[in-house]
Amino acid sequence: MMKYLQKIGRSLMLPVACLPAAGILYGIGYWLDPVGWGSNSLASAFCIKAASAIIDQIPILFALGVSIGMASDRDGTPALAGLVSWLMITTLLSSNAVAMYMKVDVSQVPAAFGKIQNAFIGILAGLIGAGCYNRFKDTRLPDWLAFFSGRRSVAIVTAIASIFAAIILYYIWPVVYGALINFGISIVKLGPLGAGLYAMLNRALIPLGLHHALNAVFWFDTAGINDLGLFWSGAEGAVKGVTGQYMTGFFPVMMFGLVAGAFAMYRAANPERKTMAASLMLAGAFASFFTGITEPIEFAFMFLAPGLYLIHAVLTGISAVICAYLPVRCGFNFSAGLVDYILSFKAPMAVNPLLIIPIGAVFAVIYYFIFSWAIKKFDLKTPGREDEEAENLIVLANDNFTEMARVILEGLGGFENLQDYDYCATRIRAEVKDFMQVDERKLKSSGIPGVIRPSKRNVQVVIGPKVQFVFDELKKLIDASK
């Protein structure tokens, strides 16, 4: 079950990768016309409307992305199946359709069906599309139906499955929606404290890969909060000084705190291993500061020093509380890095964005001294302080992806030991036949920040933003070995 949930989380990264395009367009549009939001500038209007075309269709992007990510191969058919499922479910459960089923006026239809086009349903449609594809893509039919054999049968089966899903949702969606709304309201009522609780849980769930599910409740329109969409659009429901509170607190941590924490870990490394620690920490710090991708740093100490990671999660929550209370409001479309920070300055719901700099500077000092103290006090085995010294370390910054892939393949036990393999935003995820053949020391010698073993047969190799290039080289090596 955990593996399945983690795979869903990985699949969500594909549609999320579309959001930076919207962020750039929104940022340019608001910088061109910070007062009229497009009414005073044609170029601004084009940028803002183009960005809205992406943000407003996030549920469909989820349906397509999840169906592709959860499919057994990279064929385009799962995307079509996911779209078919989305169209079927949202049409069958629209307010007008439900009013007809219930024989009542549309105003009497439960509010849940007015919000059927949301990220949760998009993910569900993607899962149905991928599931039907994986199960029926090789189906053989009699000669008189041969045209619909194989992949051509997937859309038909998906449509049938989606009808049954819609029937089930007709009865349970109001309950599920009500539960999501109540959960969201309970957090919102806590104000800044709720923002802090969410931010802390966001970091705490990263090792399990389940933080994406939590994000869907607060960032998108699953439970009516839609913090990300409303921050950038300023549409009905946005509240100046409130909207954006579930994003802002990450900026001081990702742009300043973790960078200082990385420096502290470098300073604490053993003299003979400082070069190795510098290569890991510098690459991770740049990724965190500029793009908000924090996994290269976080996974470097998450399992080596879990107590330190708990401190990091708590500090993230404190940052969110402070930013929500002041108030400071910034937003992102990808993550809380420098690029999104600058683009959000003129967004409709931006409030005191410059305060992020002094707040971040304070958190940098806090992170540095707490990390330095904890590492020395408890002799934490952060990068460069491990008991076993990795040999022949390959530095990722050198972009020697072919050599890295070779070492990783050896560490996984060779291509004969691989049952399945794929990648997400920062990790190569492999399923192995014999877990005893996995050599973690060999894997770490490639220069990666860390290795995760969710189960005996599942291995996650944490690489960072350059994971695609390493994966491509890994695939070439495996294909050449067959």
- Could you read off the pLDDT of 128-185 as tens digits, one per residue? 999 999 998 888 877 666 676 778 888 899 999 999 999 999 999 999 888 888 888 8
Q: What is the pLDDT of residue 399?
A: 59
Q: Is 18 a catalytic residue?
A: no
SS3 assignment, position 460: strand
**Inter-residue contact 260 to 279 (CB < 8 Å):** no
From CA 430, how far away is CA 408, in angstroms rounded?
11
Across 82-97, average pLDDT: 95
Token pair listed for 242: 């409130």
**Closest by Cα among 255, 229, 226, 236 to 341:** 255
From CA 142, how far away is CA 147, in angstroms rounded?
9
Please give the residue that has the higher pLDDT: either 341 or 334: 341
From CA 124, how far away is CA 128, in angstroms rounded?
6
From CA 72, how far away is CA 308, in angstroms rounded?
37
From CA 32, how far away is CA 20, in angstroms rounded?
18
- Could you read off the pLDDT of 37-89 as tens digits, one per residue? 778 889 989 988 898 888 888 889 889 988 988 887 777 889 999 999 999 99
Please give the residue that has the higher pLDDT: either 250 or 204: 250
Across 469-474, average pLDDT: 89
Distances in whole angstroms, Cα of residue 280 to Cα of each of 258, 384, 393, 406 = 13, 10, 11, 19
Across 339-364, average pLDDT: 94
Comparing 229-238, 379-388, 415-424, the range with the smallest average pLDDT is 379-388
Please give the residue that has the higher pLDDT: either 279 or 228: 228
Q: Which amino acid is at 46?
A: F
pLDDT surpasses 80 at 19: no
pLDDT band at 450 (very low <50, low <70, confident <90, very high): confident
Confidence (pTM): 0.70
**Inter-residue contact 248 to 323 (CB < 8 Å):** yes
Instruction: Point out which residues pair with 422 in neighbouring strands.
Output: 429
Q: Tokens 């877990």 sit at which residue?
A: 435
Across 469-480, average pLDDT: 88
Q: Tokens 């385009």 sit at which residue?
A: 76
Please give the residue that has the higher pLDDT: either 221 or 258: 258
Across 264-268, average pLDDT: 93
CA angle 457, 458, 460 (to 5 degrees): 150
- Could you read off the pLDDT of 141-152 as tens digits, one per residue? 776 666 767 788
Catalytic residue among 47, 132, 330, 424: 424
Counting beta carbons within 10 angstroms of the beta carbon of residue 27, is it exposed (0 to 12), middle (13 to 18) or buried (19 or more)? buried
Q: What is the mean pLDDT of the chain?
A: 86
